[in-house]
Amino acid sequence: MSYATVLDRHPDLSAAMARRATACCLNFGPDCRDEWLVREWRRQFEHAAQSLSTGFSGLPEPLDFFYTVNTAPQFPAGVIRDEPVIVFQFDTGLPAIAYGDDVSPTFAHELTTFILGAATIFKSLHDAGFVLRQLPLNSVVWNRAARRYSFREGLGIAPIGHSNFHPRIGFPMIMPQWSAPECFDAEAEITPASDVYALGKTVLALLGHNIPRTAVLPNVHDAVEGLERRFGNHVPDRIRRLLLLALHPDPHQRTRDMDQVVGMLFDGDAPVTPPTPPLFPQASHIATKTRPRAPQKPLRRGPSAGPRGAKGGGHDRKGPHGGA
């Protein structure tokens, strides 16, 4: 994948509406001599862009999709040079990082809010027939104004169903480190349980576990037991049980959907209503240089629309570059 930052200056928009966005396209490298691979990678990229454009709250906002000419000389003669580019805008917020050894008094509530916020976004995808397949920790951000979590990851989105994996394709939109093992099995089905596994990996990463770059997370029980040695009883037992079920390598044996995830969060003696998310994340796991202000009521979100004709830069080192 290749990224470029663009600044939309569409003539129908005033200067006050100008906003930065990110353009993303494929970078084939030395494998671009294989016509079949090039066509298949493009198909997957276009399919992911089309799925993302369906529109989901909490995911990147698609602004534009267009084609630009690829000028790489090593492309086979039969491969067209029109390269797909998607332009999208991330939700504003502070990216999540792993907790340190010192935790705040509201640690358990913050952890519950993190899982609940991610599960809410995942559920909206699943209800529409899609799965996200991965959730890198640094792709999760806390939106101060809206007091909610959102994702900066979106191109891993795919319809629920056959994994469509092929060892030569490699799925350029997802990484084994943050995905479920069935995403890389040609005979497997991708279901909401795949995102449950991805969420389990992200929660472990939030709690300081070093996630290896493999689809199957090894030594799951040791990783969960290590939370007690690091955080004591600050991590509720219900979350430990949730992680053990969510990270089962067999999708038929793990927690099946986000309703079950939320149900386990408030099992036992836990409160029946979700905790109020903090207006500002705790400094133990979110870096911020701004001083906390008094809590304010969030503004009501009005209607909005993306620009009709954002332009983007080139995608190839030898191709055209520039902003919109």
Each residue's pLDDT tens digit, 185-199: 989 999 999 999 999
| Whole-number pLDDT of residue 277 | 54
pLDDT over 80 at 39, yes or no: yes
Q: Taking the model in full, what pTM does it have?
A: 0.81
Contact 31, 37 (CB under 8 A): yes
Q: How does 279-294 read in b/e, with b if 16+ C-beta sit within 10 Å?
A: ebbbebbbeeeeeeee
Position 115 confidence tier, pLDDT thresholds 50, 70, 90? very high
| Whole-number pLDDT of residue 273 | 53
- Please write the tens of the pLDDT for every residue from 204-257: 999 999 999 999 999 999 999 999 889 988 999 999 999 999 999 999 999 999
- Please write the tens of the pLDDT for every residue from 249-285: 999 999 999 999 999 988 655 544 554 554 344 444 4
Tell me the CA distances in angstroms from 39 to 29, 32, 78, one per residue in order.
14, 10, 11
- Cα 168 from chain centre: 24
CA distance linking residue 287 with residue 4, whole number of Å: 25
Place of tokens 């990229």: 45
